[in-house]
Amino acid sequence: MSLPPDPDARMDLPDHDLVDRDATRDSEAAAADHDHLVAHEMHPLAIRWMHWVNFPLLFIMMWSGLRIYWANDIYVAGIGTWEFFAFFPKQFYEVLDAPFKLAKGMAFHFSFGWLFALNGLAYVTYLAISGQWRHLVPDRRALTVEAPQVVAHDLHLRDEAPPQGRYNAAQQVTYTLVILMGALVVASGLAILKPTQATLLTTLLGGYEFARFLHFASFIGFALFFVLHVLQIARAGLGNFLSMITGYVLESRAADFDPQRRRGDDREPPTSDDSSTPTTEVPA
């Protein structure tokens, strides 16, 4: 009668098999640890709503603004009498079906312009009241040190990744400039819409002609931002895009990520139960 095998007994295996099994066991344990994801709150509901409301509004404003500008397209890029190109060539308007529809462009622009302004005002008010501005407004270190590091890293001129929180330093600078540009485009729009009634505003902006130039320059700025924003979203991946829909971003437990932490802030993140950034462990 044979005795049952001792469960604690180790079979006589070649040394390389033992090493392979130990390595496999360690890798499986590490994989299991990374399989547990943590859902960090990234964007509050109000931010997401106003972001997605602003997306079609900005598109309509740019589209209708082109219809208005077509009637008197006076701006060119050049130096002195040397012109590089005009804003915009005839073919550009034909592709967008923009010419000969000035009245329709004005109707859309003036109607949706108020919605654009109200949404922007609501956004800035929410940032101020909720304290979310702390994540958005860059500090001195973000402006002078970290923003150039982000640009250098994105251009593959720097290997070390810059600090990353809810927004990196370059995003802070860009989004703050976009808010200021939004205020400028609304103010200059009012100045050229009602130059007589808003005499003081028109004067502060340098007169009607310069206010119109500022309005057009803001349009170019928004167009460049829109293209850059889309490219950066595509580069960041699907998870970054979905975070603006769901409000959450998934990170492995081993990831060093804290959306509450400002760049350049070496203090420990809050650990109290009433932290404003809830996390949820999600099995992969």
Which pTM was predicted?
0.73
How do strand 82-86 and strand 36-41 relate by DSSP bridges?
unpaired
State the Cα–Cα distance between residues 25 and 23, nearest whole angstrom.
Answer: 5
The predicted pLDDT at position 20 comes to 55
State the Cα–Cα distance between residues 219 and 216, nearest whole angstrom.
Answer: 5
The predicted pLDDT at position 207 comes to 95
pLDDT in tens, the chain (284 residues): 555 555 555 555 555 554 455 555 555 555 555 557 787 788 899 999 999 999 999 999 999 998 899 888 888 887 877 877 788 877 887 777 777 788 989 999 999 999 999 999 999 999 999 999 999 999 999 999 999 999 898 888 888 887 777 888 999 999 999 999 999 999 999 999 999 999 999 999 999 999 999 999 999 999 999 999 998 888 888 888 888 899 888 776 655 455 555 444 444 444 444 444 555 554 44
**Domains of the chain (ranges plus CATH)?**
39-283 (1.20.950.20)
Closest Cα to residue 172, out of 141, 147, 145, 140? 147
Token pair 């900005």: residue:
58
Helix (H, G, I), strand (E, B) or coil at 164: coil
The predicted pLDDT at position 5 comes to 56
The predicted pLDDT at position 91 comes to 80
The predicted pLDDT at position 253 comes to 61
